[in-house]
């Protein structure tokens, strides 16, 4: 499909991070872009308004009548009035990954960042290093990087750094997004079972990662996490050169002598057995060191000098909602994080313990993902929250997504945590959480919010409550 210059392109469910970024990129290309969504709210609504992209609240068949092309978001299903009109009129349509591949990725050299955890931070950090190395890459990140005011950029360089998600593409295309992204360089951070709504087990996830590995050309590169035993067996069948990263002595790009502080993590960098000296990333946790090693490996492969990387790494600001410090009030620190998988919860808390040694951690957790509507990880969360002083569990926002599977129970998990000696409770309303924390949090404590959704605006409620009380 050739998109004619000045074409009218409409995005259904435009306010998602990826869809909003695509809208902005299409607008920069000179297309006339419109969109619609069920809920239109900041920050994406504000960005789209700034970009001059009109957005309709709610879905209406009339929104697609005059379009040359429609991009259908992942959150959209049959029964949506715009989808039904699109199909009835046989209007041209694409999914988000198809539109990205056709309009942007084919003309670039894609650097695709994949894996169960760390994709967003690694994508943003790779884009940052290549930018500091004067390569001016394009990028699309699944969050807002602190070094930029938006999640995308169309650069003049030949590389396009993009987050490669294993989640499915659209209601009409039930295959992973990352199979459309044409990786010349592929980062694989590690693989675990996740997305229980579309994958039955780990073997199904391994199957799609094998497919992804087979899309990388022989003159490309795979940067793979050597510390992940699940990933290593997949690499032997690759037709592409593989370089590994990690803390294991056998990794090609390796970190040793990790030292954490509130300013981040310092480590010794080794490449192919050669010591390159100390490097510092302003992030905490061993998992963020691995994220950094993946980005460093790509940067060195593309010709950046170790000194350029050493200077650029500490200037990385991070990504919103990834260990994002919202404020400190009366000695109580409030941090917002995207963790919604037991491994991510455990690793995030371990990293924060390095950054805030001796602190008591009050964790607010919202089981908002489709997987967390199910009980599949409920037992694993008992170990994941073990380092928390107090765990406050919220309601499951959309319990119907459990379908026929056993549902997740916040009350049951809270009882299990109490049985192992922890303070844990179920509070369904954000207002209840704020009131409880005002009574229990003390100077020196850290409040950590963990959710991949909005959590009822508990972040702003906490800032308002604690900001007012500390004045």
DSSP β-bridge partners for residue 333: 328, 446
Mean pLDDT (whole number) for 274-299: 94
Mean pLDDT (whole number) for 215-241: 94
Residue 470 pLDDT grade (very low, low, confident, very high; cuts 50, 70, 90): low
Residues with Cβ within 8 Å of 412's Cβ and at least 6 positions away in sequence, in order, are: 378
Do 235 and 224 contact (CB within 8 A), yes or no? yes
pLDDT for 134: 97
Residue boundaries of the structural domains of the chain = 8-98, 108-315, 324-469
pLDDT for 167: 87
- Say how many C-beta atoms besides its own lie within 10 A of residue 399's C-beta: 13
Do 159 and 127 contact (CB within 8 A), yes or no? no
Name the superfamily (CATH) of residues 8-98: NAD(P)-binding Rossmann-like Domain (3.40.50.720)
Domain 324-469, classified CATH 3.50.50.60, yes or no: no
Do 449 and 430 contact (CB within 8 A), yes or no? no
DSSP β-bridge partners for residue 324: 336
Query: Residue 292 has which token pair?
Result: 């950094």
Distance of CA 60 to the CA centre of its chain: 30
Same fold: 8-98 with 324-469:
no
pLDDT for 441: 93
pLDDT for 196: 74
State the average pLDDT for the chain: 92
Q: How far apart are CA 122 and CA 288, in angstroms?
A: 8
- The phi, psi pair for 415, rounded to 5°, reads -65, -40
**3-state DSSP assignment of residue 309:** helix
Alpha helices in 101-183 (DSSP H): 119-132
Q: 3-state secondary structure string, 168-180?
A: EEECCEEEEHHHH
Query: Residue 309 has which token pair?
Result: 């990387």
Mean pLDDT (whole number) for 7-26: 93
Do 339 and 345 contact (CB within 8 A), yes or no? yes
Mean pLDDT (whole number) for 224-231: 94
Q: What CATH class is the domain 108-315?
A: alpha beta
Mean pLDDT (whole number) for 123-150: 92
Q: What is the pLDDT of residues 340-358, one digit of tens each?
A: 888 888 888 988 888 888 8
Angle separating helix axes 342-355 and 286-301, nearest 10 degrees: 100
Residue 227 pLDDT grade (very low, low, confident, very high; cuts 50, 70, 90): very high
- Residue 382 vs residues 30, 65, 77, 344, 358: alpha-carbon distances, Å: 51, 51, 35, 13, 21
DSSP 104: I
Distance of CA 406 to the CA centre of its chain: 26
**3-state DSSP assignment of residue 252:** coil
**Closest residue by Cα to residue 176 from 69, 295, 95:** 95
Q: How far apart are CA 103 and CA 245, in angstroms?
A: 32
Q: What is the pLDDT of residues 361-416, one digit of tens each?
A: 999 999 988 888 888 888 899 999 998 999 999 999 888 888 888 898 999 999 99
Residue 245 pLDDT grade (very low, low, confident, very high; cuts 50, 70, 90): very high
DSSP β-bridge partners for residue 424: 391
pLDDT for 289: 94
Residue 237 pLDDT grade (very low, low, confident, very high; cuts 50, 70, 90): confident
Do 293 and 245 contact (CB within 8 A), yes or no? yes
Q: How far apart are CA 333 and CA 356, in angstroms?
A: 10
- Say what the pTM is: 0.87
Q: Diameter of the chain by CA atoms? A: 64
Q: How far apart are CA 329 and CA 333, in angstroms?
A: 6
Mean pLDDT (whole number) for 307-322: 90
DSSP β-bridge partners for residue 335: 325, 448
Distance of CA 65 to the CA centre of its chain: 34
Which of 17-26, 90-99, 322-331, 431-440 bottoms out in mean pLDDT, i.e. has the lowest?
322-331
Mean pLDDT (whole number) for 171-183: 95
Residue 42 pLDDT grade (very low, low, confident, very high; cuts 50, 70, 90): low
- What's the CA angle centered on 20, arms 16 and 24, to 5 degrees? 175
What is the DSSP annotation of 23-49? HHHHHHTT-EEEEEES---TTHHHHHH
Q: What is the pLDDT of residues 47-92, one digit of tens each?
A: 898 899 999 999 999 999 889 999 999 989 999 999 999 999 999 9
Residue 469 pLDDT grade (very low, low, confident, very high; cuts 50, 70, 90): low
């Amino acid at each position: 499909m050739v998109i004619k210059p000045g074409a009218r392109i409409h995005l259904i469910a435009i306010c998602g991070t990826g869809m909003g970024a695509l809208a902005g990129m299409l607008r920069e290309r000179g297309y006339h872009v419109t969109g619609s969504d069920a809920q239109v709210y900041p920050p994406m609504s504000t960005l789209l308004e700034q970009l001059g992209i009109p957005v309709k609240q709610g879905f209406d068949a009339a929104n697609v009548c005059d379009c040359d092309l429609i991009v259908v978001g992942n959150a959209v299903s049959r029964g949506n009035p715009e989808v039904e009109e699109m199909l009835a009129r046989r209007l041209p349509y694409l999914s988000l990954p198809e539109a990205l591949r056709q309009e942007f990725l084919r003309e670039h050299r894609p650097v695709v960042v994949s894996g169960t955890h760390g994709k967003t931070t690694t994508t943003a950090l790779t884009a940052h290093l290549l930018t500091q190395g004067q390569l001016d890459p394009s990028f699309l990140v699944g969050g807002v990087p602190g070094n930029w005011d938006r999640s995308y950029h169309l650069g003049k360089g030949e590389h396009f750094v993009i987050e490669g998600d294993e989640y499915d593409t659209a209601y009409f295309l039930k295959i992973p997004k990352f199979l459309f992204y044409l990786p010349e360089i592929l980062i694989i951070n590690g693989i675990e079972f996740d997305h229980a709504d579309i994958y039955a087990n780990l073997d199904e996830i391994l199957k799609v990662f094998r497919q992804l590995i087979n899309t990388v050309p022989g003159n490309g590169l795979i940067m793979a996490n050597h510390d992940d035993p699940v990933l290593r067996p997949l690499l032997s069948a690759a037709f592409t050169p593989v370089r590994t990263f990690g803390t294991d002595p056998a990794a090609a790009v390796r970190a040793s002598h990790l030292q954490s502080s509130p300013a981040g993590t310092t480590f010794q960098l080794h490449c192919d057995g050669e010591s390159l000296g100390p490097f510092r990333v302003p992030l905490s946790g061993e998992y963020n060191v691995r994220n950094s090693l993946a980005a460093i490996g790509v940067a060195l492969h593309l010709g950046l000098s170790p000194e350029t990387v050493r200077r650029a790494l500490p200037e990385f600001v991070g990504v919103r909602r990834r260990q994002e410090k919202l404020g400190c009030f009366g000695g109580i620190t409030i941090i917002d994080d995207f963790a919604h998988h037991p491994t991510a919860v455990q690793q995030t808390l371990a990293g924060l313990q390095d950054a805030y040694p001796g602190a008591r951690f009050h964790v607010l957790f919202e089981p908002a993902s489709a997987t967390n509507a199910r009980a599949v990880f409920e037992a694993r969360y008992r170990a994941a929250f073990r380092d928390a002083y107090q765990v406050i569990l919220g309601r499951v926002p959309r319990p119907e997504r459990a379908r026929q599977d056993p549902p997740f129970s916040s009350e049951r998990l809270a009882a299990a945590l109490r049985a192992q000696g922890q303070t844990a409770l179920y509070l369904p309303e954000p207002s209840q959480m704020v009131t409880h924390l005002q009574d229990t949090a003390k100077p020196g404590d850290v409040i950590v919010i963990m959710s991949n959704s909005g959590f009822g605006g508990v972040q702003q409620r906490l800032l308002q409550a604690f900001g007012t009380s500390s004045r």
